[in-house]
Amino acid sequence: MSTINYCTPNGVQCQYIYKEDNALYKRIRDLREDADLSQRQISEIINMHKTTYARYETGEREIPFNIAILLAQYYKVSLNYLAGLTHNKND
């Protein structure tokens, strides 16, 4: 895990802790496979090219926040779960 220290615009000091193991990429693949969907099927559901989606799963391409939200909504999980910050799908 790594941390980033930062201040909010109003001066509050914060710390963000994140995992470097690319949990997001693994989680979206696992969720897709658990739903018995192909990459083509999920890419059609979220209205994008299959190659773009495949690159999200392999980590070759960063997942835009709006796409992460779509995936979380579709799979009915939290963004924290997608990011690997929790093991509880609803946190």
Answer positive or negative: Cα dihedral of 60, 53, 23, 2: positive
Q: Does domain 22-91 have CATH number 1.10.1740.10?
A: no
What would the mean pLDDT of 63-88 be, rounded to a whole number? Answer: 93
The sign of the torsion formed by the CA atoms of 8, 5, 84, 68 equals positive
Residues 18, 47: contact at Cβ < 8 Å? no
Torsion angle, alpha carbons of 21, 17, 34, 71, to 10: -110
* pTM, entire model: 0.74
Confidence of residue 90 (pLDDT cuts 50, 70, 90): confident
C-alpha distances (whole Å) from 56 to each of 3, 24, 42 are 23, 9, 12
**20-67 residue pLDDT tens:** 457 889 999 999 999 999 999 999 999 999 999 999 999 889 899 999
Query: What pLDDT score does 59 carry?
Result: 87
